[in-house]
Structure 1
C-alpha cells in the first residue's frame, strides 16, 4: 500500500524519476581548459630556462633557473624584446614568449659565442644530409645556397655545397629528437638552431621538420630562417634590433631582392671584414635576342696560338668554356685556361696540362663520379677530377653521347646536381643527358630560349656555383635560378678574374 503522503503527489515522483534518468543518460559535460596564471608561469619558467639561463660548461645539455632568479631573468627577457622590464609576468610578455623563434639563447653568455668565434678560412663547405618533405630537393638546395650568398655578397667568405663526407657545416631537417641535446618541440615553437663556428659540430644547423617549410608567406619561410641560422653558424649572436635578421623571433618579410639588413651586415663584417672591391661589375646594355633556327652560322674557331692574358680584364672578354672542379673555377679561352682558387688566378696553356687537347669548346664536372668532361670539336675527353689526368679510352666521339652527326662542336655543357642531368648546348638548342642511365633523354633537342627564359638563344659557357647556374652569352653572364627559371643578375665574364 502506498503511503498517503506519496499518493497525494504522484506527479512529483514522476518528475524526479525523469530527472534522475536524464542525469544518468547525459554525457559528462566537457570543461574548456583555458590558460591559467599557473600554466603561464610554468611555461615562462621553462622559456627562461631555455633562453635566459646560463648553460653549464661541463654539460651542454644542462640549463637551470632558480626561483630567486626568475624575476631577474624575466626582466632581462622583457628588456631584450623592448617590453617594459617589470619582472612581472603579463599577457604581453607571455605572447612574446609564445612567438615562433630560433632555438639559440638570447644572452651573450651563451657558450656558443664565447670569445667571438669565427671561421679561420675563406672557403666553407656545407652538406645537407636530410631534406624536408615540404619542398623538392632542388628548391632546398637553391634556397640554402641563396641564404649563404647573402653573406658571401658582403664578406670575403665563399660557400660550397658537397654531397659526401664531412663538411664544415652539416645541415639536416628533422623533428623531435635529432641527435643533439636540444630536441625540437613540434610546430610553431623553436624553428631551428645552429652552433657557432668551430671544429667537430661547429656551424652545424638543424631545422625542425615538424614546421611547414615554404618559400612564401605561408608556413615558415626557409630563406629567412636559414639566413638567420647561418648568421649563428658564422658567429653572430641575437640582435635586439627588431628589423634585424638576427632578432630571435620569426617575422616574415618579402624576400624578393632580399639583402642583409644593415645591423646584420655590420655585425658579420665586424668578424670577417668586407668583400671589397665589389667583383660584380655593372652589366652592359642587354642586346636584342639573336634569331633562332638551324641556319645560324658557326662561331669562328679561336686561334690557339694567341695568349689571352691581355684579354683578362677586358669588358668584352668571351669565355670558350667554364666549369667548377673540386671547388676551383676553370675558365677556358683560346687554348688556355684561368684557374681561380679562392682569390688566386693562374693562367695555363691547355696542351701543357693535357697534351692531347689543343683547345676546349665546352667543359663540365660531374662531382659524384669525380669526372670532368672536356670537349674539342667532335670529340670529348674524360678527366679524373682528383688527379686531373685523362682516363684511358678517351677521346670518344660526341655522337656516342647521343648527339647527331650534324653537331660540329659543343658550345657549352653543365651538370645539374639536383636533376642528375648534364645539359649540352649547341647553337640555339640543347640536349639533356642522364648520368645515371648514361644515355640521352628522349624529346631532345629543345630550344634554349624556350626552356631558359632570359638567357638568350645561345650559350658560350656554363658552370654552377653557389647553387646557381651561370650562363655566358658573349661577354655577358646570367646568374640563373633553375628552380624558378629566372635570371637573378646579369654580370660580365671578367668579374671572375679579379678585374674591377
Structure 2
C-alpha cells in the first residue's frame, strides 16, 4: 500500500496543479523548445529582401538565386558558397525577426514625419535613417502575454528601452494613452498588418516592428515568452531588438550585434554591441554632450603611428569621396589616405593609408558609396568599380559600356535604395547587379536636385535624411523632399566635418 500511495501522489499533485492553473487561465500548450520549420527558399529570400518579385509566370534565374543565397550567407556569417546547403537551410529555419535584411531598390518610402498607416506592411518601409524628430518618447502596452506577470513584462520593456537611452539622448516614459509613440502588442497569426506579415506559430518569426514615426511593435503570442532563463524566448532581448527597429535601425550583418536578424538566446548581463551603439548614435547622437569649447589649434607630430601623412593638415583635406560605411562611421577618401569621422570629428589614429583599411583599394578614388540594401561598398575610379564586403575586396570590374561616365565625380545611395553617380552636370543610376549604369544616357543634375551646381566633388546621404554635397572647400545641405538647399548654405566644410581638430564641435546630424 505504501508503494501504491507513493506512486499515486505525483499524479494527484499534477492534476491539482493543472486544475488550479486552468482556473487561473495561465496554462497553455506551448513548446519550450523551438520547432524546425519547413522553408521555401525562394519565398524566404523574397520576404527578407534578397530576391525581388519575379515577373508573373517567370521564375527566378539560377544566377539570381545563387547571388541571393550568397548575400544571405554573408549577412548571417555563413561560408559563402551560393549553395543551399544544410547549414544555410538550418539558418533560414532558425527563430528570427520578421523584418527584412535587405530591400529591393525603388521601394516606396514616405517622406520624413509622415506616420505610416497601422495596416501597412512594415517590410515596405525598411529605412535605415528613419528617425523620430524628438528625443522624449512615450510607450504603452496594448495587451500583455499570459506567459509572465505584467510586472515582469513591464520590467522587460523598461530594460529594453534603457539599453538605447543609456547611449543616446533619448528618454522613454510609459503612458496609458493610446496615442503613445511606441505601442506594444502581443498577437497571433494574421493580426491586422497584412497576410504577408502574419505570425507563424512557435519558432520562425518572433516579432516585428514599424519604423518611425509609427513605432508599433508586435510579438508573436504563440512563442513561450520568458525572463532570466534559457528556456523559451527571452522577452527582454527580443524587445530590445524590435524597439531598435521602432527607433529607426535596420538589421546588422555583425553576427553578435543585437540588431542581427536572428535570435541569439538569453544572455546574462547583456550589453549592446559596439555596432548597435554606433548605429543608434548615428541617428540620435551620443548620451553625453560634445565639448562646448573645443581646441582651436591642432597638435602636429613628426610621425604618425597610424600610417597617415603627418604633413597633411586635416583642415585642408580635399573630399575626393565621402560615404557612411557598413560600420555606420563616416569615411572620407583623399588620394591614398582615408579619414574616419565620429560625432566629434576626425578619429584618433587617422588618416591611414587607404589600402590598409580597404583591401587593395585604388589610389585617387573618385567616388564611393555603401549600399544599406545589399551591404556592399563600392569604390569608383575611372571606369573601374571595386566591390567590398566589409573591408574585404570581393570583385573588381572594368566597365566597357559606352554610356558609363569616364570618371565618376561623386556618388551616394538614395532613400530609394539606388546608388546615384555624378559627372559634370549629369547623373546616372548605378545597377549593382551588373556593376554598370542602368541607362547610358545621363540626366541633368538640376532636374533631380534643383539648385545644385555642376561638377560636384563628393556627396553623401546621412541617416538624418539629408544629402550633403561637397564642392571645393564648401558643402551644401540638401532637403530632397522640398527640393532645395537649406538656408545658410554653402558653408566651409572643415570645422563641421573634421570637428575638434579644426575648431568645430561635431559632425553634422
Q: State the TM bucket, normalised to the shorter chain.
A: 0.3 to 0.5
Higher relative contact order, chain-length normalized (CA < 8 Å, sep 6+): 2
> Which structure has the larger Rg?
1
- Normalising by the residue count of structure 1, what TM-score does the alignment of the two structures yield? 0.43
